[in-house]
Structure 1
Amino acid sequence: MARRLRPVGLDFIEDAPIRLTFAARTTAAPEAVYRALAEEVEGWPHWFGAVTLARPTHGGAGREVRLVGGARFQETIMAADPERRYAYRVDETNVPGVRALLEEWRLAPAEPGSGTLVGWTFAADGPAPFRLALAGARPGLGRAFRSAVRALDARLGARRAADQ
C-alpha cells in the first residue's frame, strides 16, 4: 500500500539523518549526462538496472519510478539546474519504514573536455530499524550507482559514436 511521506526541501540533502553519498566519473560531457537524467526520464531503465519504469508526471514536474522487486515512487522534481544538479523528493511510496526521502545528482566537469564527475546523494529519514537497514544497504547502493553510471556512460558513448 502506498504511503505519503513527509515533504522535505532541498536543505534535507544536508541535514537528513541518513545521507549516503557516492561518486563516479563518465567520459560524457555534463550536458549529455544531465539530459539523460532530467530530460530523458523514460530512458532510465536502459541504464539503471534497478529501474523497471520511469516516466515524467505532472507535465515534467514529477516522476513515477518503479524498481526491481516492486518498489514504487511518486516524486516531485525539486531542482533541475542544467549540467549541474537534478534532485527529486519522494512523495509517495510502498517501501515500508521510510518517512522522508530526497535524492540529488550533482554534475561537474572533470577536466576540460574529459567527462563529468557525477555525485549521487541519497538522503532519508525513518525509524531506527529503517536507518540501520539503509546503512547496511550502503555497499549495494554504491555498486548499483557505479554500475548505472558505467552503463549510462556506455550508452552515451554509443550515441556519440553514432552521431559522428
Structure 2
Amino acid sequence: MAHRLRPEGLSFVETAPVRLVFAREVSAPPEVVFRALAEDVSGWAEWFPAVTSVQPLDDGAGRDVRLRGGTRFRETVLVAKEPELYAYRVDVTNAPGVRALVEEWRLSPAGAGTRVQWTFAADGNGAFRAVLRLARAGLGRSFRDAVTKLDRRLTP
C-alpha cells in the first residue's frame, strides 16, 4: 500500500537521522554524467541494477521509479544544477516504515573524469532505520557497481 512521505527539502541531506554517503571516480566528465542522471532518466534501468524502470513526470519535474522486488517511488526533483548537482525526494512509496527520503548526486571534476558522490538521506520508524544501517554495505556495493556500469556506458 502506497503512503505519502514527509516533504523534505535539500537541507535534509545534512540533517537526516540516517545518512549513507558513497563516492566513486569515473572517467566520464561531469557534464556527461549529469545528463545521464538528470536527462536520460529512463536510461537508469540500463546501468543501475536495482532499477527496473524510471519514467519522467511533469516535464522532468518528477519521476516514477520501480525497483526490483516491487518497491515503487514517486519523486520530485529538488535540484538539477548542471553539471554538479542532481537531487530528488520521494513523495509516495510502497516501502514500509519510511517517513522521509532525499537522494543527492553531487558531481565534481576529478582529473580528467568525475567524482560521483551519492547521499541517501532517510527517516523512518526504528525498524526501517535499523535495516538501512545493516544494508549500508549492500547499498555501497550497489552504488559502486551501478556507477562503474554507468561509466562504461558513457565512456567510448
CA distance in 2, matches of 1:141, 1:90: 17
Match of 2:75 in 1: 75
Please name the residue that 2:149 is paired with.
151
Offset at residue 128 of structure 1 (A): 1.1
Deviations along 1:82-104, one digit per CA (max 9) or x if unpaired, are 01000000000000000000000
Matched, 1:15 2:15: yes
* TM-score of the superposed pair, with normalisation by structure 1: 0.94
Displacement of 1:55: 1.0
Larger Rg: 1
User: May I ask how many residue pairs the two structures share in their alignment?
Assistant: 156
Q: Report the aligned-residue RMSD.
A: 0.5
Amino acid at match of 1:17: P
Tell me how far apart the structure 2 counterparts of residues 126 and 94 of structure 1 sit (CA, whole Å).
Answer: 13
Q: Which residue of 1 aligns with 2:118?
A: 120
Greater percentage in strand: 2
TM-score, normalised by the number of residues in structure 2? 0.99
Distance (Å, rounded) in 2 between the aligned partners of 1:65 and 1:130: 20
The 5 A counterparts of 1:1-164 are 1-111=1-111, 114-157=112-155, 161=156
Q: Which segments of 5 or more consecutive residues in structure 1 lack a partner in the other structure? A: none
- Divergent runs of 4+, >2 A: none
Q: Share of identical aligned residues, percent?
A: 62
